[in-house]
Amino acid sequence: MLDLLWMVPALPLTGYLILALLGRRLSRSGVAAVGVGSVALSALLSVRVAFSFVSSFHQTPVYVQRLWTWLNAFDFRPSVALRLDALSLVFVLVVTIVGFLIHLYSTEFMAEDEGFRRFFAYLNLFIASMLILVLADNLLVLYLGWEGVGLCSYLLIGFWYKDPANGYAARKAFIITRVGDTALAVGIFVLYVGLGTLEIQGLVDQAAAKWLPGSSAAVAAAALLLGGAIGKSAQLPLQTWLPDAMAGPTPVSALIHAATMVTAGVYLMVRMHGIFELAPVIMIITAVIGALTLLMAGFSALSQVDIKRVLAYSTISQVGYMFLAVGVGAWSAAVFHFLTHACFKALLFLGAGVIILGLDHEHNIFKMGGLRKKVPFVFWTFLAGACSLAALPLVTAGFYSKDLILWAAWSSPGGSAWLWAAGVVGTFLTAAYTFRMVFITFFGPLKSPFQLKPGFRLKAPLLVLAFLSIVAGFLEMPESLGNLPVLSRFLGSVLPGLGGGNIGRQIWLQVFTSGVVLAGISIAYVLFRRRFDETQRFLGTPAPARIDRFFYAGWGMDTLYDRLFVRPVEWLARIDPDDFVDLIFKGIARLNAALHIILARTQTGRLNWYAMGMALGAVILLALAVWL
């Protein structure tokens, strides 16, 4: 069964091809069948492959399937190869299953849209690219998937292209992630030049053999890989594209900008942990970036008004946690948090989608309210997701994954008290902004009429994801609470283990974190439910209003980039409209036009002229034949 691995990315890719080439002939239900069916089959197949893999896990912890040789130039012979090990299996299962649920949801969400076929084509292409990325056996194939998801992100953010603002958001996302992509590309070059191979196993082995810890080659490579990860995962300083990416349809935000693409950077770093471990300074930088980002995004989420932007900043913040975990060397913890985050963040986005649809595309949470009684199903599932995000103690998956990260930040050799403190403050902020969102959206008086009866296809994914948001945490129970590290033992075949430690201290920290979470929820309750009007009045006064606006604008980074990059480039373009390079291109065009005019004159239409031409040609050819 394992040799059907190639079909896992091939099925969605085929779905894309069918929809792109023949989709116009299919009916709506046909398009939906192809779009959802290909991902469903892929999900089923990955589960089947997972079973085969796990049953033969002890003999073969890694399965590589070489498909064909991609290039053959001098000594460079990369092949298109897929690698299945514990790490990629986790990612594959998440991408296909969550992807399937979101596809199902989209059939009802996008039912009225005229771009239905296009949507599913792009979505299928995205799943295919993401699967190629996580199943890649060498960095070249990974880069292929990387670029593919970037392209699909652009296409899907700007899906409603008739509104130029959406196109702007799509371009912004693409250009900013491009900065990261370039860093990744250069990083791949550095790795190849330094180690002579691009295969993942080869890189890890060669790096351990050839590069000393802390050597400049390792640091350079790790820094460049980090640069790529920052771009794709929207961390400081390349995080400004993600809030604007919410211009795309909600399923897109759920799939790409919550569950999968933004975690591609985390995947890259975890995959290349061998390189990162040789560059401790880069690990420290990663952790610091993660910590700063999670704080910054947490504060920004507190001031957001659009429900999707709250979730967007929340995503940036949670991915910051994953970076923090990577930076302190807790690789499995990062993967665990990825898993739980995919479940609850997708749930939150999908729930928000139902609300937005029902309120006729209203995004402003202050225009919502009272939805708890109106759509109790959405409320309870959303609440499950929100609790998981806020890391409600013991009963939610988010608690276990976030707690693991905090423990690693405190106790592991790369961690420090400052990082742990940042994580804890972040936890408080997460609980606060999450429940701010919940209270304002679902409680209080009904401010706008809700006019939708969500069907099975909207509700079933919410239910499944809500279940997972609660239950997925039990995959990794820490030592103080039952000691069932299923996930990290599974990942232990690929990644270095997490440190254990002082159970007493663990329990103290867990209690402390739980307290912080409950405090955050209570503060949110007080500020945004009990004393809502007073809070709003307070935020209206000058000083708090300025801070509020500062947080709202993402700490002013958009303005900063505008002043620093955008305006100078525009100024340069304005003062230099017709430069030397332009002249070359214009010159070529003009030369062509002139030649055309000259040649057109030879078509006189006169017989004698043509006959003379033929005779002349004969003379010249004969001369050439005779004298050469």
Partner 1 sequence: MNLAFYLAGAVSVAASLLAVTRRRAIHGLLYFVVSVLSLAVVFFVLGAPFAAALEVIIYAGAIMVLFVFVVMMLNLESGTGKKEGRPFSLRVWLGPAGLSLVLLAELIYIVASGGQGELGGVAIGPKAVGLSLFGKYAVGVELVAFLLLGGIIGAYHLGWHQGKKGS
Partner 2 sequence: MTSVDFGTGLTLAAILFVIGLAGVIARRNIIMILLSIEIMMNAAGLAVIVAGARWGQPDGQAVFLFILAVAAAEIAVGLALILRIHHRIKSLDSDDYTQMKG
Residues sharing a CB contact under 8 Å with residue 400, sequence separation 6 or more, in sequence order:
336, 340, 473, 474, 476, 477, 478
Q: How many helices (H) and strands (E) does the chain have?
A: 28, 4
Nearer to partner 2, 59 or 608 (CB): 608
CB of 601 to partner 1, least distance (A): 18
User: In the complex with partner 1, which residue's Cβ is closer, 54 or 615?
Assistant: 615
CA separation for the pair 334, 476 (Å, rounded): 12
- φ, ψ of residue 64 in degrees (nearest 5): -115, 130
Sign for the CA dihedral angle at 376, 380, 385, 391 comes to positive
Q: Which does 395 bind (CB under 5 to 8 A by kind): partner 2, partner 1, none?
A: none
Whole-angstrom distance, CA of residue 311 vs CA of residue 565: 27
- Residue of 598, 600, 626, 628 interacting with partner 1 (CB under 8 A): 626
Of 305, 484, 566, 623, the residue at the interface with partner 1 (CB under 8 A) is 623
Could you give the CA distance from residue 340 to residue 344 in angstroms, rounded to a whole number? 6
Binding partner of residue 606 among partner 2, partner 1, none, CB under 5 to 8 Å per kind?
partner 2
Query: Which residues inside 593-622 make contact with partner 1, applying CB under 8 A?
Result: 612, 615-616, 618-619, 622
The least CB distance from residue 614 to partner 2, in Å, is: 9
| Shortest CB 612 distance to partner 1, Å | 7
Q: How far apart are CA 599 and CA 585, in angstroms?
A: 21
> Cis link prior to 213 (omega < 30° from 0)?
no
Return the number of the residue (196 or 617) whose C-beta is nearest partner 2. 617
Binds 603: which of partner 1, partner 2, none (CB < 5-8 Å by kind) = partner 2
Asked if 371 contacts 451 with a C-beta cutoff of 8 angstroms, the reply is no
Q: What residues line the site for partner 2 (CB under 8 A)? A: 600, 603-608, 611-612, 615
* Cβ proximity to partner 1, 47 vs 615, nearer residue: 615
Q: Which two tokens stand for residue 69?
A: 């040789």
| 54 lines the binding site for partner 1 (CB under 8 A) | no
Q: Are 257 and 312 in contact (CB under 8 A)?
A: yes
Q: Which is nearer to partner 2, 165 or 594 (CB)?
A: 594
Residue 622's binding partner out of partner 2, partner 1, none, with CB under 5 to 8 Å set by partner kind: partner 1
Closest CA to 99 of 136, 45, 138: 45
Distance in Å, CB of 623 to partner 2, minimum: 15
Of 574 and 606, which has the nearer Cβ to partner 2? 606
Site mask for partner 1 (CB under 8 A), range 553-592, x = bound: ----------------------------------------
DSSP result, 373-398? HH-HHHHHHHHHHHHHHHT-TTTSHH
Output the smallest distance, CB 622 to partner 1, in A. Answer: 5
**Residue 29 or 608: which CB sits closer to partner 1?**
608
**Please, are residues 221 and 206 in contact by the beta-carbon 8 Å criterion?**
no
Residues that bind partner 1 (CB under 8 A): 612, 615-616, 618-619, 622-623, 626
